[in-house]
Chain A
Amino acid sequence: MIELKGINKTFFSKSGKVEAVKDVNLSVKKGEIFGVIGYSGAGKSTLIRMLNLLERPTDGTVTVAGNNLSSLKGKDLRAARQEIGMIFQHFNILWSRTVRDNIAFPLEISGVSKEKRMKRVDELIKLVGLEGREAAYPSQLSGGQKQRVGIARALANNPKVLLCDEATSALDPKTTDSILELLTEINQKLGLTIVLITHEMHVIRKICHRVAVMENGRVVENGSVLEVFHHPQEDITKDFVNQLSEPEEMKESIAHLAASQEGELVQFTFLKGKTGSPLVTELIRQFDIEVNIIQGKISHTQDGPYGKLSVFIKGEPTVIESALKYVREQGVEAEVITNG
């Protein structure tokens, strides 16, 4: 659905040139939710703006839904943009228009007759769950409702791709979840391809199928969400993954425990079907060791569940060794974090 080939974007300013995006090659399949994660300044905003040519790449080609966008200009480009919806961190809806007129705006641009416009707007209002708020002005809406208007507006012209620029970063956690659910629903119901950028790993975990990690304008890692969560290669990816599984205070308390406990601190990582297996019970039964559970967590991704369990294991070093071997044979990863 989307192909990026050899994309570079360099901004020239008085203070010199800034290479915002460097040598990016990506492809996004039809119907998938593709996430791009990175800290601010990593170039992800510039990248997503090149997908609808709000920023023109310095080099490289952008192909969306079979259109080579980077070769288009003027009227053709505007027509091609109507096949790409976009939502924004700060919603960017017109305060001078009601909910209904905001959603009708892209239809006005694409030249849909008034009668059809109103019919389509009613469908969209139902789709995003804004019934009863049609005549409200944006100032009368909550953040989540404003983003729903943004989503309805972005979907008005039946686009093939939806771009989400930090769409949940200005929302509280609960509202974020409801917007993410809506996006997943739209993805499944309409088969819409979604590209989103974010700096929040839980957004990626919750709704993305595949993820690319950006740092200093480059894509440093990309693959299926489960794979990236499971085997983060780069330090920055490990950072993002750890944000999710190990909040700071948990880290501190584990370090504290590790100092006062004997034995080895081991982290098990469970994937897909393995999250349901009674691993700890098996370990205690089969080996002469003590297992002390420190913390555990299961997260759900679009590809299935994914779990982490931290334990202290006490016993003879050789027994521990064979216990870990057993664990690995069960298809669960075991990583020794500290030796007590």
Chain B
Amino acid sequence: MVETLFPNVNWESMWEATIQTAYMTAISVLATFILGILLGLLLFLTGRGNIWENKFVNSIIAGIVNLFRSIPFIILIILLIPLSVYIIGTMLGANAALPALIAGAAPFYARMVEIALREVNKGVIEASQSMGASNGEIIFKVLLPEAMPALISGITVTAIALVSYTAMAGVVGAGGLGNLAYLEGFQRNNPDVTLVATVLILVIVAILQIAGDLATRVIDKR
């Protein structure tokens, strides 16, 4: 039955591609989450009227973030090949795609983090200062916990964007479902392969969306 419907699908390589996509997404989401929060915090804290207000640092970080956000991802991958070779040691494979995936997504997420932090009630920060809280305590006990639902829904959106970035990462031979759909499906004229790969990508996206929504709902006590 399955064989007659999808005659050209090699289930073993399809599974392998799914694993590659999941792997690239998982690692890059994790790194984007950490790096994005760091950058977002810096953007927010050095902004006007905040605890580390510093116009110089703020405009430098904002400049870098805007630069990376503006470069089309497919070009970013190519531009970052030397960096990938330096860090990972190779310009091919799933790992080689990671620096580009993270460099593409982290600035995007950093902006969302900044917006989320801006939504935190200023009065709560003032109250914490009135209790004698240090800047570190304000960041880890007030800002991040209070912004958490927005941080989680932001990383959900970013993770879904990353799934589609992994498809483009095929140009550096990263593998994954997008790459498979393009090479095996489109170029060899096997529409059934493209269809199955697409469905699997949709499944991954659906899982991410459901998990993200669930986490946001559990955390949000507002």
Question: What is the interface of chain A, defined by CB distance below 8 A to chain B?
Answer: 52, 54, 77-82, 84-86, 88, 90, 92-97, 105-106, 108-110, 137-139, 153, 157, 163
For the complex, give the distance between the alpha carbons of A233 and B127 in Å: 36
Q: Size band of the B side of the interface?
A: 20 to 34
> Are the C-beta atoms of B146 and A78 separated by less than 8 Å?
no
Rounded to whole Å, the gap between the CB of A104 and the closest CB of chain B is: 11
The answer, among B121, B126, B134, B137, for a CB contact under 8 Å with A54, is B126
For the complex, give the distance between the alpha carbons of A80 and B131 in Å: 9
The answer, among B126, B134, B141, B148, for a CB contact under 8 Å with A105, is B141
> Are the C-beta atoms of B124 and A94 separated by less than 8 Å?
yes
- From A108, which residue of chain B is reached at the shortest CB distance? B141
Contact with A along B72-101 (1 / 0, CB 8 A): 000000000000000000000000000000
- From A52, which residue of chain B is reached at the shortest CB distance? B130
**Chain B residues whose CB sits within 8 angstroms of the CB of A94 once the complex forms:** 124, 142, 145-146
> Are the C-beta atoms of A106 and B126 separated by less than 8 Å?
no
For the complex, give the distance between the alpha carbons of A95 and B119 in Å: 13
For the complex, give the distance between the alpha carbons of A212 and B130 in Å: 23
For the complex, give the distance between the alpha carbons of A95 and B126 in Å: 15
Contact with A along B127-154 (1 / 0, CB 8 A): 1111111100100011001101000000
> Are the C-beta atoms of A81 and B131 separated by less than 8 Å?
yes
- From A83, which residue of chain B is reached at the shortest CB distance? B132
> Are the C-beta atoms of A95 and B127 separated by less than 8 Å?
no
Rounded to whole Å, the gap between the CB of B141 and the closest CB of chain A is: 7
The answer, among A90, A92, A109, A139, for a CB contact under 8 Å with B221, is A139
For the complex, give the distance between the alpha carbons of A50 and B57 in Å: 29
Rounded to whole Å, the gap between the CB of A322 and the closest CB of chain B is: 59
Contact with A along B87-126 (1 / 0, CB 8 A): 0000000000000000000000000000000000101101
> Are the C-beta atoms of B137 and A109 separated by less than 8 Å?
yes
Given contacts A95-B146, A137-B221, contact A82 B127 (CB under 8 A): no
**Chain A residues whose CB sits within 8 angstroms of the CB of B55 once the complex forms:** none
Given contacts A86-B127, A92-B127, A105-B141, contact A81 B132 (CB under 8 A): yes
Within 8 A of A (CB), among B187-222: 219, 221-222
> Are the C-beta atoms of B124 and A109 separated by less than 8 Å?
no
Interface of A is mostly: mixed
**Chain B residues whose CB sits within 8 angstroms of the CB of A157 once the complex forms:** 131
**Chain B residues whose CB sits within 8 angstroms of the CB of A93 once the complex forms:** 124, 127
Among the interface residues B124, B219, B222, which one has the most CB atoms of the partner chain A within 10 A? B124
Q: What are 20 A-B contacts with C-beta separation under 8 Å?
A: A52-B130, A54-B130, A77-B132, A78-B134, A79-B132, A81-B130, A81-B131, A81-B132, A88-B126, A92-B126, A94-B124, A95-B221, A95-B222, A96-B221, A105-B128, A106-B131, A106-B132, A108-B141, A109-B134, A157-B131
For the complex, give the distance between the alpha carbons of A53 and B94 in Å: 54
Rounded to whole Å, the gap between the CB of B119 and the closest CB of chain A is: 12
**Chain A residues whose CB sits within 8 angstroms of the CB of B132 once the complex forms:** 77-82, 106, 109-110
For the complex, give the distance between the alpha carbons of A85 and B129 in Å: 11
For the complex, give the distance between the alpha carbons of A84 and B146 in Å: 24
For the complex, give the distance between the alpha carbons of A13 and B23 in Å: 51
Rounded to whole Å, the gap between the CB of A10 and the closest CB of chain B is: 17
**Chain B residues whose CB sits within 8 angstroms of the CB of A163 once the complex forms:** 130
For the complex, give the distance between the alpha carbons of A247 and B83 in Å: 75
For the complex, give the distance between the alpha carbons of A108 and B146 in Å: 17
Among the interface residues B132, B137, B145, which one has the most CB atoms of the partner chain A within 10 A? B132
**Chain B residues whose CB sits within 8 angstroms of the CB of A78 once the complex forms:** 132-134
For the complex, give the distance between the alpha carbons of A96 and B130 in Å: 19
**Chain A residues whose CB sits within 8 angstroms of the CB of B137 once the complex forms:** 108-109
The answer, among A79, A85, A86, A92, for a CB contact under 8 Å with B124, is A92
> Are the C-beta atoms of B123 and A96 separated by less than 8 Å?
no
Rounded to whole Å, the gap between the CB of A157 and the closest CB of chain B is: 8
Not counting A96-B145, A109-B128, a sample of 20 additional A-B residue pairs whose C-beta atoms are within 8 angstroms of each other reads: A54-B129, A79-B132, A82-B132, A86-B130, A86-B131, A88-B126, A90-B123, A93-B124, A94-B145, A96-B219, A97-B145, A105-B128, A108-B141, A109-B132, A109-B137, A110-B132, A137-B221, A138-B221, A139-B221, A139-B222
